[in-house]
Amino acid sequence: MLNEFISTPAQLLAHLEALMATSDKNCALMLIGLHGLRRMGRIFGARLSEEILVELLGQIHRALRPDDRILRTGRFEFAVLIPGLLNRGHAVLAVNKLAGILDNPIEIRDKERKLPFSIGLSLSPEHSTDPEQLFRYAEIAVLAAKITQTPYQIYTQDDLAAIVTDWDIEGDLDRAIAQDQLSLHYQPKISSRSGELLGAEALMRWHHPVHGMIPPDRFIPVAERMGIMPKLTWWCLNTALRERIEWGRADAELSVAVNISALDLTDERFIKSVTGALGIWDTRPELLTLEITEGSLMKDIALSATILKRLQSYGIRVSIDDFGTGYSSLSYFKQLPADELKIDRSFILNIPEDDLDKHIVSTIIQMARKLQLDIVAEGVETALMQQILLELGCDIMQGYHIARPMPQADFITWSATHS
Ligand code: C2E
Ligand code: CA
Ligand code: CA
């Protein structure tokens, strides 16, 4: 019953079609995404995450009936097909059973952890008798579960209306700049020791006329696929440098950090567009930091490093973002042009109660110090986290405990009271 190989969508649909044809009762399709396990795999390695996945699949297999099917659809995704259900209530019982299994804490390196997951469920004939539609509805439901952070969601017509698809984003994103729907929010970065405001990170916001606020995590990957990321970065860079001037702090010059995408570093013209923007806004290069995620640097390390080195030679600061989530080792940073390292917030989140994460953060800080990098902790949510990070020797902090990202006008007010 357990399919060891990853099924293609066509194979999944064929199975679904066969099951629906032989069952005269209701069928349920569940799509299960194990995003907690995906994250765990990035930290502890693929072997351990694969072992856990196989164990979980085994437990689910034992909980199911002989006619049910499990198909693995991706590294951290699988589908469960359940035929012969008497009614919707039975589908709910089945999904609760699976959610119960996935919700059990798992022992990872001597520590019990719960790994977040999302299940999306669609039903035949209630939602559709067409396998392809049913699959699409289960995909929408799994997205709805992820967004609402609930263990599972059964497809509803409302989800379809509420969930902004990549298709919608593609259609509208290109016009977003021209129609002035994008803006930047600014989140303060402060000195750990003195509490002094050092600068802010610019974070993009999209106010869609129909769908409301669409988060950057949602539209940036689509922009990357569409190839319009250079345009968005260019907009962001110029807006941030222009708005920075309005911060108007004569006593201390605040720096601004702009996030750049891996794709920006695949074209040497990017260097000109950054230095050009600094010229237009008459800004000293030291006051601009470019944040680039660790993971995206790995794609074409030689070219990215060349471009970053050139930028750095002008005095622009380079920050390695989301540090700890990629696969690189710290020693590798000797070759990278970096001035700052931002420890990913997933490590910061658990430091008050998780000694392992605290140890990881402490090790990163000690090694980064040897490489003479500034160390920023992002996602500082409580006073306790701030205290621990200060003790561990972290230089700069950013997070909800200090301030949330805010619109330009609010940031100006905030900065006036935090010198
Ligand atoms: P990031 O660069 O890691 O940005 C930090 C994210 O963490 C922001 O989410 C911020 O609102 C959130 N955050 C800050 N403090 C806390 C905290 O204490 N707790 C928690 N839980 N979260 C906190 P946001 O604004 O939704 O941005 C998400 C991601 O989208 C960013 O992650 C960045 O990778 C990307 N992004 C945002 N703006 C841009 C942009 O202009 N260009 C590019 N290329 N990427 C951008
Ligand atoms: Ca960032
Ligand atoms: Ca980050």
pLDDT in tens, 376-397: 999 999 999 999 999 999 999 9
- 289 and 324 part of one domain: yes
- 176 and 137 part of one domain: no
Distance 256 CA to ligand 3 centre (A): 15
Residues with CB in 5 Å of ion ligand 2: 259, 291, 321
Give, rounded to a whole angstrom, the gap between the first and last alpha carbons of the chain: 64
- 257 and 391 part of one domain: yes
Q: pLDDT for 241-264, tens place per residue? A: 999 999 976 666 899 999 999 888
- 121 and 227 part of one domain: no
- Domain stops at, among 155, 178, 200: 155
- Whether the upstream peptide bond of residue 125 has omega within 30° of 0, thus cis, is yes
- Report which bound ligand comes closest to the CA of 405: 1
Alpha helices for 106-228 (secondary structure H): 131-148, 157-162, 166-178, 216-226
Whose C-alpha lies nearest to ligand 1, atom 11? 405
- CATH number of the domain that 102 lies in? 3.30.70.270
Q: pLDDT for 121-130, tens place per residue? A: 999 999 998 9
Chain centre distance of CA 138: 22
Distance 168 CA to ligand 2 centre (A): 25
Distance 237 CA to ligand 1 centre (A): 16
From 259, 304, 321, 342, the mutation candidate for ligand 1 (largest count of ligand atoms within 8 A of CB) is: 259
What does pLDDT average to over the chain? Answer: 89
- 134 and 190 part of one domain: no
Task: For residues 391 and 365, give the distance between their C-alpha atoms in angstroms, rounded to a whole number.
Answer: 11
Q: Is the pLDDT of residue 221 over 80?
A: yes
Distances, alpha carbon 30 to alpha carbons 72, 82, 129, 141, 189, in Å? 12, 8, 15, 9, 43
Whose C-alpha lies nearest to ligand 1, atom 23? 379
Model confidence, pTM: 0.72
Q: pLDDT for 2-31, tens place per residue? A: 445 677 878 888 888 888 887 777 899 999
- 128 and 30 part of one domain: yes
Whose C-alpha lies nearest to ligand 1, atom 29? 217
Whether residue 163 lies inside any domain: the answer is: no
Q: pLDDT for 73-123, tens place per residue? A: 888 999 999 998 888 888 999 999 999 999 999 888 888 888 999 999 999
Q: pLDDT for 347-370, tens place per residue? A: 999 999 988 889 989 999 998 898
Distance 60 CA to ligand 3 centre (A): 35
The predicted pLDDT at position 288 comes to 98
Task: For residues 260 and 232, give the distance between their C-alpha atoms in angstroms, rounded to a whole number.
Answer: 9
Q: Is the pLDDT of residue 1 over 50?
A: no
Task: For residues 5 and 238, give the distance between their C-alpha atoms in angstroms, rounded to a whole number.
Answer: 48
- Percent above pLDDT 70 for the chain: 94
Distance 205 CA to ligand 2 centre (A): 14
The predicted pLDDT at position 328 comes to 60
The predicted pLDDT at position 168 comes to 77
The predicted pLDDT at position 366 comes to 92
- Rounded to 10 degrees, what is the CA torsion of 125, 131, 133, 134? 60
> Closest ligand 1 atom to the C-alpha of 344?
3
- Report which bound ligand comes closest to the CA of 261: 1
Residues in contact with ligand 1 by the CB-under-6-Å rule are: 187, 203-204, 215-217, 220, 236, 259-261, 291, 321-322, 345, 378-381, 399-400, 405
> Closest ligand 1 atom to the C-alpha of 342?
3
- 144 and 269 part of one domain: no
Two tokens at 406?
Answer: 């805010």
> Closest ligand 1 atom to the C-alpha of 216?
30
Q: pLDDT for 153-178, tens place per residue? A: 999 877 766 677 777 788 888 889 88
From 184, 203, 261, 389, the mutation candidate for ligand 1 (largest count of ligand atoms within 8 A of CB) is: 203
Continuous segment of H or E residues that includes residue 319: strand 317-323
Whose C-alpha lies nearest to ligand 1, atom 27? 216
Q: Is the pLDDT of residue 412 over 60?
A: yes
- 141 and 186 part of one domain: no
Q: How many domains does the chain have?
A: 2
Task: For residues 241 and 287, give the distance between their C-alpha atoms in angstroms, rounded to a whole number.
Answer: 9
Domain range for 189 is 168-416
